[in-house]
A and B are shown apart, each in its own frame.
Chain A
Amino acid sequence: MKTDQLIDMLSTNVEPVPPGGLRKTLLGALVAGGVAAFCLMLATVGLRTGVTDGFLPGYLTVKLLFTLSLIGVGAALLERLMRPGQDGRKLFAFVFLPFLIVVCAGVASLVFGQPMAWGRMMFGMQWATCLLCIPLFAVVPFAALIWALRKGAPTNLRRAGAIAGFVAGALGATAYAFHCPDDSVPFIAIWYGTLVALCGAIGAMLGPRLLRW
Chain B
Amino acid sequence: MDVRSSEPDLRALMISGLDGDAAAHRALLERLSGQLRAYFKGQLNRIGRGPVEAEDLVQEALIAIHTRRHTYDRSQLFTPWAYGIARYKFLDYLRRTKVSAADVPIDEAQELTVRDDSAHVDSSLDLKRLLAELSPRARQAIQYVKLDGLSVSEAAARSGMSESAVKVSVHRGLKALARLIGEEKP
Real binding pair: yes
Interface stretch, picked from B41-49, B98-106, B121-129, B132-140, is B121-129
* Chain A residues numbered 1-57 whose CB sits less than 8 Å from any CB in chain B: 1-17, 19, 21-22
A83 at the interface (CB under 8 A from B): yes
The reply on B93 being an interface residue by CB < 8 A is: no
Contact check: which of A15, A21, A155 meets B84 at CB < 8 Å?
Answer: A155
User: Once the chains are docked, how many angstroms separate the CA of A152 from the CA of B72?
Assistant: 9
What is the minimal beta-carbon distance from A43 to any residue of chain B, in angstroms? Answer: 34
A interface, CB within 8 angstroms of B: 1-17, 19, 21-22, 82-86, 152-153, 155, 212-213
B58 within 8 A of A: yes
Q: Which residues of chain B are within 8 angstroms of A85 by Cβ–Cβ distance?
A: 76-77, 79-84, 109
B146 contacts the other chain (Cβ, under 8 Å)? yes
The residue of chain B having its C-beta at the shortest distance from the C-beta of A87 within the complex is B84
Question: Bound complex: CA of A153 vs CA of B84, how far in Å?
Answer: 10
The A contact surface, by secondary structure, is loop
A193 to B22 Cα, complex, angstroms: 50
* Contact (Cβ within 8 A) B22 A14: yes
Bound together, the chains give a CA A6 to CA B64 distance in angstroms of: 12
Contact assessment for A212 and B92 in the assembled complex, using a CB-CB cutoff below 8 Å: yes
Query: Could you tell me if B120 and A17 are in contact, using CB atoms closer than 8 angstroms?
Result: no
| Sampled A-B contacts (9; CB under 8 Å) | A2-B123, A3-B59, A12-B145, A13-B150, A17-B18, A85-B77, A85-B82, A85-B109, A213-B175
Please report the C-alpha to C-alpha distance between residue A2 and residue B52 in the assembled complex, in whole angstroms: 11
Interface residues of B in 50-92 (CB under 8 A from A): 55, 58-59, 62-64, 66, 68-74, 76-77, 79-85, 87-88, 92
